[in-house]
Amino acid sequence: MRICLIASSRFPIKEPFAGGLESMTHTIARGLAERGHEVTLFAGAGSDSALPVRFLPLSEVEVSDTAMADKFAPGADWLAEHHAYLALMLDLARTGADDYDVVHNNSLHHLPIAMSPALDVPMLTTLHTPPLPMLESALALCPRPPRFAAVSDWTATSWRHAVDSAVVLNGLDLTAWPPGNGGGPAVWSGRLVPEKAPHLAIDACRRAGVPLLLAGPVQDRRYFEREVVPRLGPDARWVGHLTGRDLSDLLRAASVAVVTPMWDEPYGLVAAEAMASGTPVATFARGGLSQVVAPQAGVLAPPGDVDALAEAVRSAALLDRREVRAHAEATCSADVMVERYLDLYTELAGQADAA
């Protein structure tokens, strides 16, 4: 099949990934190409040139100083993102049916959904977040909305008031996340931002008497300096933004992975990466994590309860790492994810041919 993948125009699809959406897009692009499909990827500048795909360049625009002097002018970043998606969707409206059998939208931008009725090629959109106002607004004005998939049952349910979706759990290349023997410090991984709350992981592990390593990009510098840096010390260290291989090494050696969302996680890819490594998870029970982390693979704590999370850290570390890995193999496989998406592509393409 000829497949166009739409990702974020802000972030490259390249390690170290900005987040789970970028990681998932990289995995599915590679998986589709390895199965012999022709993949074209729209993504941020600097994406992985080793991917066996064709890249769509981002369209750029220079707006006059007079226009930008308007007091209601948007910021330069907003305008660049808007222009990139507008140019992409106009191109797909003109020639998409000649170039592709299906378009798979993995972005969080409203324009792919809003403009999907103008396309003569079927489009599938994966819901990677809880409901967003701009996406709901686009749906409200969309007489012929595209098909949707959701990354967990929780995400599908949270969107059900606006749209129905098929559930396709995110997946990992399990060969890239081999199991390890554990026994080392706890690990927290992800974006260092308030909604991920790594400072609570430090507090919980300190109360549990377990040393902690934090890994990930600092995407909110003020939060990091205010809440994380003062808590760092000999028993809690930030080790930077790691590649997948380095993060895998860290997780394989970890006694437990700590996940501390202060928002409803749509899926929780960091938990899947830990479980694939054989490392049990201690997490707040929010969003899709309650589905992703089964009792044999981790311990759930009430959201925001640091004392309960400290107890979860101690309890999770006692779980059988072989059972944790087995759970990941049964539920977090990239092969299962790619094949499920191919089934949806085939269904959509068949419906388009029959129309």
Tokens representing 43 are 């993504």
Residues 154 and 226 in one domain: no
Residue type, 169: L
Q: Is the peptide bond before 122 cis (omega within 30 degrees of 0)?
A: no
Please state, in angstroms and rounded to a whole number, the distance separating the CA atoms of residues 43 and 57. Answer: 8
Q: Name the nearest CA neighbour of 151 among 332, 30, 1.
A: 332
Residues 132 and 224 in one domain: no
Interval 260-281 mean pLDDT:
96
Residues 78 and 181 in one domain: no
> Residue 193's domain spans which residues?
174-331
Interval 194-204 mean pLDDT:
98
Helices (H), the chain: 20-34, 65-68, 76-99, 111-114, 133-140, 153-159, 198-208, 221-223, 244-253, 269-276, 289-292, 306-316, 321-331, 334-354
Instruction: Indicate the pLDDT class of residue 352, thresholds 50, 70 and 90.
Output: confident
Largest CA distance in the chain: 65
Please state, in angstroms and rounded to a whole number, the distance separating the CA atoms of residues 313 and 303. Answer: 14
Q: Name the nearest CA neighbour of 32 among 74, 61, 3.
A: 3
The region, left, alpha or beta by phi > 0 then psi within -120 to 50, assigned to residue 256 is: beta
Task: Give yes or no for a contact between 173 and 150, defined as CB atoms under 8 angstroms apart.
Answer: no
Task: Give yes or no for a contact between 58 and 9, defined as CB atoms under 8 angstroms apart.
Answer: yes
Is 355's pLDDT higher than 70? no
Residue type, 297: A
Return the pLDDT at 353.
73
Q: Tell me if residue 222 falls in helix, strand or coil.
A: helix
Please state, in angstroms and rounded to a whole number, the distance separating the CA atoms of residues 350 and 168. Answer: 20
Residues 304 and 338 in one domain: no
Is 4's pLDDT higher than 80? yes
Specify the CATH number for the domain of residue 223.
3.40.50.2000
Q: Name the nearest CA neighbour of 216 among 180, 256, 257.
A: 257
From the CA atom positions of the chain, what is the Rg in Å?
Answer: 21
Q: How far apart are the first and last CA of the chain?
A: 19
Interval 8-23 mean pLDDT:
91
* β partners of residue 186: 212
Number of domains forming the structure of the chain:
2
Return the pLDDT at 49.
93
pLDDT in tens, 141-160: 887 778 999 999 999 999 99
Return the pLDDT at 19.
86
Mean pLDDT of the chain: 95
Instruction: Indicate the pLDDT class of residue 351, thresholds 50, 70 and 90.
Output: confident
Residues 325 and 180 in one domain: yes
**Between 351 and 288, the higher pLDDT residue:** 288
Residues 180 and 306 in one domain: yes
Report the percentage of the chain scoring pLDDT > 90: 91
Return the pLDDT at 292.
94
Residues 167 and 180 in one domain: no
Residues 149 and 74 in one domain: yes
Residues 178 and 292 in one domain: yes
Tokens representing 275 are 């479980």
Residues 145 and 187 in one domain: no
Residues 71 and 207 in one domain: no
Residues 186 and 38 in one domain: no
